[in-house]
Chains A and B, each alone.
Chain A
Amino acid sequence: MATKSKRGLIKLDAELCKGCYLCKSVCPLNLISISDRLNQKGYHPAIYIEDDIGIKEHKCKGCALCAIVCPDIAIEVYRE
């Protein structure tokens, strides 16, 4: 029986981000990229590319790998 895998999302606080990109390096679905703009600290923050997409379209599984490696606790993870 196929169970539908759960969907998730992350909230990435660009102002807490220090641009280490460890989150980007571990996301298995490549859902994190780098912003063109600078945050107040002067870093190009990481951005979550599904921010503006409806939850039904999310590829994010809420696996939390990105949050586990984020030194600055800039990422919160939510799951269905």
Chain B
Amino acid sequence: MKKVFGKPKSLKDAVFHYCPGCGHSIIHRLVAEIIDELNIEEKVIGVPPAGCAVLAYDYFDIDIGESPHGRGAAVATGLKRALPDRIVFTYQGDGDIAAIGTAETIHAANRGENITVIFVNNGVYGMTGGQMAPTTIIGQISTTTPGGRNEKRDGAPIDLSEMLALTDGTVYIERTAVDTPKNIIRTKKAIKKAFRVQMAGLGFSLVEVLSPCPTNLKLSPVQANEWIGSTMTNYFPLKVIKDKVGKLGASPHLE
């Protein structure tokens, strides 16, 4: 018998503190598998957020530069400029990247910083107990929208990835999910491509991953995944949002 699936080596032995069925655990594993496959464990630097994934340094056996809330892209900019031969990625939740750190994210993207952003969108502030996030969808119940998010009162969900795609500096942006085995495999492909874009020096890459937070959705893990497929993707459709990589040589500023 041959072992065909096990724990990636760039994860430490530590047990994840995430809730049962949490998408963070899956995305951590995918990132670690990619680091193993690209053989960059010694060269990669991760920048975790404030939020449920704040303790990512406990899990990844790689260099980590912790960031103030939302400022991952700014921290990653500094790390990458000081150490250009390193592969620098941020790992940020929706509250972190799309509310608290919107400015830093947009300007890093617009400057075309050669970094990779992993944007974990679970539609809610997870760690602080399920408040409405900028990405909470219309009608979704959270602790601060007990009657459901109301567009007139609370605004519509922000599609940060589409916004970033409008800036010249971004070269590759894709939205995926970790709700099914197929989508988990797609997510891995997308994050791997984003790392490769950076390794080739091509510019700013981002993968938005729709990720279940069963605890705050107050659903079972299986139901939370179903909700992503049936409801969340209506607001955040899974697709390649921007891909300039193939056309870079000819005209870098045109789609």
Contact = CB atoms under 8 A, between A and B. Distances in A.
A21 to B, nearest CB: 6
Contact of A78 (B1, B15, B185): B1
B20 A77 contact: no
A73 B4 contact: no
B181 interface: yes
A73 B29 contact: yes
Contact-size category for B:
20 to 34
Interface string B193-229: 0000000000000000000001000001110010000
Interface residues of A, number: 27
A59 interface: no
A76 B20 contact: no
A49 interface: no
B15 A71 contact: no
Interface of B: 1-7, 11, 15-16, 18-26, 29, 180-181, 184-185, 214, 220-222, 225
Contacts of B21: 18, 20, 22, 71
Contact of B184 (A8, A18, A68, A80): A68
A79 B1 contact: yes
B20 A18 contact: yes
Given A21-B222, A77-B5, A69 B20 contact: no
Interface in A23-47: 25-26, 43
A64 interface: yes
Residue of B1, B24, B29, B180 with most partner-chain A CB within 10 A: B1
A25 B222 contact: yes
Contacts of A16: 15
